[in-house]
Every structure is written in structure tokens, then in C-alpha cells.
Amino acid sequence: MRRPAALLAALLVLALPAAAQADELTVAMPGKFFEPARSTIVAGDRVTFRNADLVTHDVRVGGGVFDSGLMLRNTIWAQGFDAPGEYPFVCTLHRFMSGTLTVVAATLDATPAGVLAGRPLKLSGRAPAGTEQLTVERSDGAGGWVGVGTVVPEADGTYAATTPAVEGATYRVTGAAGPSPMVVPQVTAKVDLHLTLDRGRRHTTLAVHAMPAPAGMVATLELYARWRYRWHPVQTIALDRAGRARFRIPATRRTYARVSLRQARGPALVHSHVLRTSDGRSAPDPDTIRPPGTGGGEHGGGGHGGH
């Protein structure tokens, strides 16, 4: 029995890979204003202007590069933007109605917001749909750009790449449409953590000093749980401007102590050296001397002083 031609055509369409599609943005005119008035899109995206007002409007973009003509109530006008640049737009019937459209070769974000030098820095964003390859570039302020890697975006242009963070560096990605806007992530140089202990009759005070003082980081006091063979976070305090923080525990607490440094949310970036709370002397990380069969052994996890 022969299948209908329409069914065969539908099956062929389903078998084809999904075509790359540009993103779309809608700019409304709910009254005598544009919403949103300022937007950023990627080259190749389309913008739909929608008149939701009771009166007639029009849209003139880039000083006349694009012109919608008169738009009655509930009328829409769509326009694609292929070239990166700034495109101011205005309603010529109501000159106080204006906005700006920024078209970029690719968007670019860097995470985390703060990272230590040498740690992984994630660069992500979106390039024009169908972009075959992007080059990740870095400038250290010497007046030029150096390629530090490449990334192949998804069909819709989204991408993500990882590169070591460099203090004071500027990053961008470059593709067929040109370079993206630049980002300068907050990168902190190598941080040394110094931990000291002062024993009193009732309490033991542990003081930590981070040098140089990193911005936006917190210190977490960790005590070693002897029966579980792991470090246990006890208290978290934001470092002051000098990079200092103080912790207090009962004097009867006899174990190992260390301090980790991290962003307000995120994994530990730096560990201090280990102290014995009984006498304040330095000690090896107990993770390195776990009993056999507990997952540690001679080469167990855990930090060894500042990184």
C-alpha cells in the first residue's frame, strides 16, 4: 500500500536536522513610548515592533535606514539587523518617543563574578545562528589581542568556553560577524592565607589574614570531624578591608582547624595551613593520613596551605 505523498514529505522534513534560526525581539508601543526603549541583540536577529496603542505610530530606525511607514492600532512591523552597530529609532509622529537598539557580533558574559588568577573562567553568550567557530581572545594591556582557544557554537549560536583567568586581562570572542563587546572580569592575584591561634581559658580565638586582601570574599572556619574523616564548616565571616577575620570556638574543642576562602556562594578557592586547636601548632592535613579504606590514604584530598 503506497503512503500518501503528504505523509512522505512530512517524514522527510522530520528527518532533516533543525535549521539554525535567529532570535527575535519584540518592542511594543503600549502608549506614546517604546517598551523596552533600549535593547541588545545579535547580528542576524529580527526585531518586531508592535503598536498596542490606540493611536497611529511609525518607526524610523538609524536616521532612515529602515522605516516602517504608518502603523495603525494592532499593527506589527518586523526588521532584521545583520550589521553590528548602534541603531537609534524614533516615532516621527511623536518625536519624544525614541529608543536605541544595539546590535553586536556576539554577546559575552564571564563567570564567576570574582575568580582567582589561574582558575577556570567561563565565557559564554550567543553568536549569530549558524556561526561555525569563534576564537576566544585575550588582551593583557600590551596593545594587542592573542587567541587563547576556539569554540564551536550550537546551531542557535549559543556557546560556552573555559580559559584560565588572568589578572587585569580583557576578553572577547571573534567570529565571522566581527568581535564581541569586551569584558574585564574581576580576577584576584594569588592569595596567601595566614592562620594564628590564641588559646584562652574558655575560648580559643583563630585569626585569619588574607594577603593581598581580596574583594568580595568570605572566610569559612573548618574543623576536622575525626570520626567521619572530613572537614566540617563551622562559621563563615566576611573579610574586612584589610583581609582579616576572627573566629572563636570553645577551648575544650580539640581537633584540627583550617580556614577556606571563597566567594559568597561557590566552592573553596584557597585553604590555609592546618593548626591543632589544642596547642596552635601546625599539623599535616588529616586528609593525607586517613586510615586505609576510607578513600584517603597517602594521597588523600584536602588543601595544603594557601594556593
Q: What is the pLDDT of residues 189-245, one digit of tens each?
A: 778 889 999 998 899 999 999 888 777 788 999 999 877 788 999 999 999 989 999
Residue 4 belongs to a domain: no
The number of distinct structural domains making up the chain is: 3
Residues 234 and 283 in one domain: yes
Residue 1 belongs to a domain: no
Residues 198 and 184 in one domain: no
Amino acid at 40: T
Tell which residue, 80, 177, 82, has the closest CA to residue 127: 177
Residues 27 and 72 in one domain: yes
- Tell me which of 86, 104, 122 is where a domain ends: 104
Residue 212: which CATH number? 2.60.40.10
- Tell me which of 104, 129, 161 is where a domain ends: 104
Residues 172 and 205 in one domain: no
Residue 42: which CATH number? 2.60.40.420
pLDDT band at 1 (very low <50, low <70, confident <90, very high): very low
CA dihedral of residues 266, 270, 276, 278 (deg, nearest 10):
-50
Residues 198 and 173 in one domain: no
Residues 198 and 291 in one domain: yes
Residues 74 and 133 in one domain: no
Q: Are strands 76-80 and 66-67 parallel, antiparallel or unpaired?
A: unpaired
pLDDT tens figures, 133-177: 999 999 987 778 999 999 999 999 999 999 999 988 999 999 999
Tell which residue, 204, 211, 212, 214, has the closest CA to residue 235: 204
Residues 160 and 223 in one domain: no
Residue 7 belongs to a domain: no
Residue 13 belongs to a domain: no
pLDDT tens figures, 39-98: 999 999 999 999 999 999 999 998 889 999 999 999 999 999 999 999 999 999 999 999
Residue 12 belongs to a domain: no
Residues 144 and 183 in one domain: yes
Residue 226 belongs to a domain: yes
- Tell me which of 104, 123, 152 is where a domain ends: 104
Report pLDDT for 11: 32
Residues 217 and 238 in one domain: yes
When pLDDT is averaged across residues 240-254 and rounded to a whole number, the result is 92
Q: What angle do CA 162, 127, 143 make, to 5 degrees?
A: 65
Residue 54 belongs to a domain: yes
Residues 84 and 159 in one domain: no
Domain extent at residue 237 = 192-299
Q: Looking up cell 578557592, which residue turns up?
A: 269
Residues 213 and 291 in one domain: yes
CA distance 39 to 36: 7
